[in-house]
Amino acid sequence: MAADALAAVVNNLFRSLLVLCVGAHCLSAGLSGSTKSDPKTKSDQKGFRTFQIGYLCAYIAAVFADWLKGPYIYRLYQSNGFDTSQIAALFMAGYFSSAIFGTIAGSWADALGRRKMCLCFAVLYCFHALLHLSPNFWVLLTARLISGVATSLLHTAFESWLVAAHHAAGFAPELLTDTFAWCSMATSSSAIVAGIVSDLAAAQFGVLGPMLCTIPFLCVSFAVPLLSWGENYGDCNKGIVQALSHGVESIMHSKHIFLLGMVQLLFEGSMHVFIFSWTPQLQAVSQLQKAELPLGEVFSCFMAAFMLGSIVFKKMCSGGGGQMHAAHGSVFLLAALSFLVAAESTDFQLTLVSFVGFEVCCGLYYPMLSTIRSKYVKEESRAAVLSLFRLPMNLVVIMVLLWSSSWETRYVFRICAACQLGCFITFQMFARLSDEESEPVPAKVAPPSPVLTPILRRRSMHQS
């Protein structure tokens, strides 16, 4: 397919996805507006909306920086003269760092304070971006090791801070679901913009441009918690080692938490392998060089699909737990089908549509899992448990990247499809267990701390 025709396909798909997002959002808003709301909930929402907006603003700044570098990170490493095996080694370094040091970082958040770890994320990620000024492989390897720790903090400390702050402020538990849904929609919206901005930055400053453009947004993500957040902790009486061991006990003693961890391992492991594989797969089916692929706009298509999934989830929230459980199982089946199509297709349009289908699943998956997880993971060990969930996931991704460096991408996507089927089976076990029991043990809430404004949680769909 010629480069111009390919660009037209991507552009038309992007516009169609935006129309679907607007239509779905208007439909969801219309249906939710027609339902009667509790007067008490309305009065509570006055303070909650301020809390939520503050959270979203800070969250978008942090995640926008992560999204911004995504479309061109593979090409940046290629421009330094690295071959596929060296690029795979750089990616694996990030996952290895996240698996080893990131696990400890999650315990730090519980023991030392979630706000402090959010500040550490911004500092570490800025340093990681500046190290990319060097074309030296070992310097970039160091940058990837640093980003692994930072990414772990992004996925653990932020959600832990948000849940604790939400409960400490006395907001209704169901409003937390609303926050997670808005979080996914806001981050995917910012990611759409990030894809376009990354194209502009690369055109103006070269492939290093998107990486350097992350720094101003990281400064914002540092300034907001520094100036406006209060600190909160897990169990203040436990040290880092104790917090980590308590997290292990929580996983091993709760079938619900263990099964949720398995779901996260299989789904997010596949997602991170997808992050490494989608660029070379599109290049293969289009028979074009990476320089001719509109990677930024393709990434924007992915994020529009992610936002569409988030909007659908927000509408589904009114359907109750049974509807959510049934839909969650469907998400995994759709993800498996998307990977199978991508594995067998040799057509660019069909491959791109299959990738978009998987991104819709991601938009549904993240707020769903966060909502369900908030009901079962205890507050005093939340960050430790979340970081422990990521440990096996990162190890699996490392092994797949290591073994698949000489494989054709279709074999990699077949493995990802099998993982999604494993997600479906595991979640059905979780749903059956939840149906057999009455209600989960309520999570213990940490003592209220001086919280002024909140922050965040995110999916990353990004590499470490």
**Residue 444 within a domain:** no
**Residue 77 within a domain:** yes
Report, in this order, helix, strand and coil percent for the chain, each rounded to 5.
85, 0, 15
State yes or no: pLDDT of 288 exceeds 70.
no
Directed axis angle between helix 84-112 and helix 114-131, to 10°? Answer: 160
Span 413-436, average pLDDT: 88
State yes or no: pLDDT of 458 exceeds 90.
no
State yes or no: pLDDT of 445 exceeds 80.
no
Span 143-149, average pLDDT: 90
**Residue 153 within a domain:** yes
Span 360-381, average pLDDT: 82
Q: How far is 170 from 154, CA to CA, in rounded Å?
A: 24
Span 441-455, average pLDDT: 39
Percent of the chain whose predicted confidence (pLDDT) is above 90: 16
Per-residue model confidence (pLDDT) at position 327: 58
Span 360-368, average pLDDT: 88
Percent of the chain whose predicted confidence (pLDDT) is above 70: 81
**Residue 29 within a domain:** no
Q: pLDDT band for position 332 (50/70/90)?
A: very high
State yes or no: pLDDT of 273 exceeds 70.
yes
**Residue 347 within a domain:** yes
Per-residue model confidence (pLDDT) at position 461: 40
Q: DSSP labels for 231-262?
A: P--S-TTS-HHHHHHHHHHHHHH-HHHHHHHH
CB of 108 within 8 A of CB of 233? no
Q: pLDDT band for position 112 (50/70/90)?
A: confident
Span 277-285, average pLDDT: 85
What rounded mean pLDDT belongs to the chain?
78
For residue 337, the domain's CATH number is: 1.20.1250.20
Span 316-320, average pLDDT: 60
**Residue 449 within a domain:** no
**Residue 74 within a domain:** yes
**Weakest mean pLDDT among 26-30, 93-97, 368-372, 429-433:** 26-30
State yes or no: pLDDT of 454 exceeds 60.
no
**Residue 295 within a domain:** yes
- In eight-state DSSP terms, residue 80 is T
State yes or no: pLDDT of 340 exceeds 90.
yes
Residue showing tokens 């500092």: 123
Q: How far is 152 from 101, CA to CA, in rounded Å?
A: 9
Count of domains observed in the chain: 1
Span 416-433, average pLDDT: 90
- Domain span at residue 219 reads 49-436
pTM over 0.75: no
